[in-house]
Amino acid sequence: MQTDSEFSLPEIHQSFSINKNSLDKEGLRYFAYNFVKDGEVYEQDAGNFLLDWLNEKDHIIVQTSGSTGKPKKIKVFKKHMINSARATGKFFKAEEGTTALLCLPANYIAGKMMLIRAMVLGWKIDLVPPKTIPLDTVYKQYDFCAMVPLQLDNSLNRLHLIKKLIVGGGPVSENLKELVQGIKTKIFETYGMTETVSHIAARRINPKKKDKKDANFFKALPNITLNIDNRNCLVIKAPQLNEETIITNDVVELKTYKKFLWKGRHDNVINSGGVKLYPEEIETKLQLLIGHRFFITSVPDDALGDKVILLIERDYDKIAYLTLREGIQNLNTLNKYEIPKEIHFLPQFIGTENGKVQRKQTVELALNSKF
């Protein structure tokens, strides 16, 4: 096990700059201190992280998002974050001199990793407030940026400002994928988690026609190998990012040790009438019918075991309900087991701080208020 005394933080890359300031370690430390002292909230978050990064410890404490359970704080080693940054640079061909835009909060792993990539790879990074419409005050073009799906959805008319975009923090909807086809920006959906120090795989969601054959498969970054366990859940070996093998709850179809198709969460699987159903697959089929946030879940049923239900985040509207029910019945991509037996409306879902739906808590709310 590495100790603090054995770890030595590498020098800041000579080509690195932040908000047009070219800085070494000492200069960056002073810059970060001023962010904390006088900056806006998002700048204070960035400043606090940079001060943590520049201290003598071999690790930082990172908070998980809470999308699959209660948010928790975990220890992440700086050497693993550096390795992750280098793997990203190699995979996306984002080398020294890359201009980058940070529009994510620096108090979560995705925002932290953008700053680390800049320091390690020699990027020229600018910070803007992490808003849902992140490009509204941006007037120059950048080589690289990271967003969550909601930010992408709100940036479609300004994507010409970004040459290469990675999107994480939640699945990209089929509707959003349709909207970005033909856009020049190279857009990648990423797969990862805090425990893997950001993403470990990615797939292009607006590929050229000749590349569409394997477009649904995620491809692993360098130095990562993949396998599955007896549940068909993804197993990740990434010794440069985490010394332990990571066993996920993500059900996948494994094509090779480097490629996989994500099917859904094992903890969301529905067993209805003896048939295993993946809510995320059903949601993909329903996305073009529903203009609000929604998800598929189940409630106990004496005959079926689990009964498939659809929860929609909006006020109840009888006409909308009847129209949707008819649309679902006529949707030929759904098999008979996948058709929701009930449709319920909730004014507001329960979500995490960064916008992910907390399914379990939302279902409990629905059960207490509706069923």
Write the CATH number for 359. Answer: 3.30.300.30
- The domain in which residue 51 lies consists of 4-265
Q: Rounded to an integer, what distance in angstroms lies between the CA atom of residue 327 and that of residue 96?
A: 51
Question: Which of 241, 265, 289 is the last residue in one of the domains?
Answer: 265
Cα angle 47-193-116, degrees, rounded to a multiple of 5: 30
Task: Kindly report, residue by residue over 108-153, the tens digit of the pLDDT.
Answer: 899 999 999 999 999 999 999 999 999 999 999 999 999 999 899 9
Confidence of residue 6 (pLDDT cuts 50, 70, 90): confident
Q: Which CATH number belongs to the domain containing residue 28 in this structure?
A: 3.40.50.12780
Task: Kindly report, residue by residue over 278-327, the tens digit of the pLDDT.
Answer: 999 999 999 889 989 999 999 888 888 899 999 999 999 999 999 999 99
Q: Contact 100/142 with Cβ under 8 angstroms?
A: yes
* 196 and 307 part of one domain: no
Residue 207 is given by DSSP the state: -
Q: Could you tell me which residues come within 8 angstroms of residue 101 by beta carbon, excluding any fewer than 6 positions away?
A: 125, 126, 128, 134, 138, 142, 144, 145, 162
* 212 and 299 part of one domain: no
* 239 and 280 part of one domain: no
pLDDT of residue 3: 53
* 50 and 105 part of one domain: yes
Question: Which of 265, 281, 301 is the last residue in one of the domains?
Answer: 265
* 61 and 77 part of one domain: yes
pLDDT of residue 276: 87
Indicate whether 220 pLDDT > 60.
yes
Indicate whether 371 pLDDT > 70.
no
* Single pTM value for the model: 0.85
Confidence of residue 81 (pLDDT cuts 50, 70, 90): very high
Task: Kindly report, residue by residue over 158-211, the tens digit of the pLDDT.
Answer: 999 999 999 998 888 888 999 999 999 999 999 998 889 999 999 999 998 766
Where are the alpha helices (H) located in 172-317, listed in sequence order?
Answer: 174-179, 279-286
How many domains is the chain built from?
2
* 235 and 134 part of one domain: yes
Residue 255 one-letter amino acid: K
HSE at residue 272, side-chain half, CA atoms within 13 A, is 21
* 155 and 280 part of one domain: no
Whole-number average pLDDT of the chain: 91
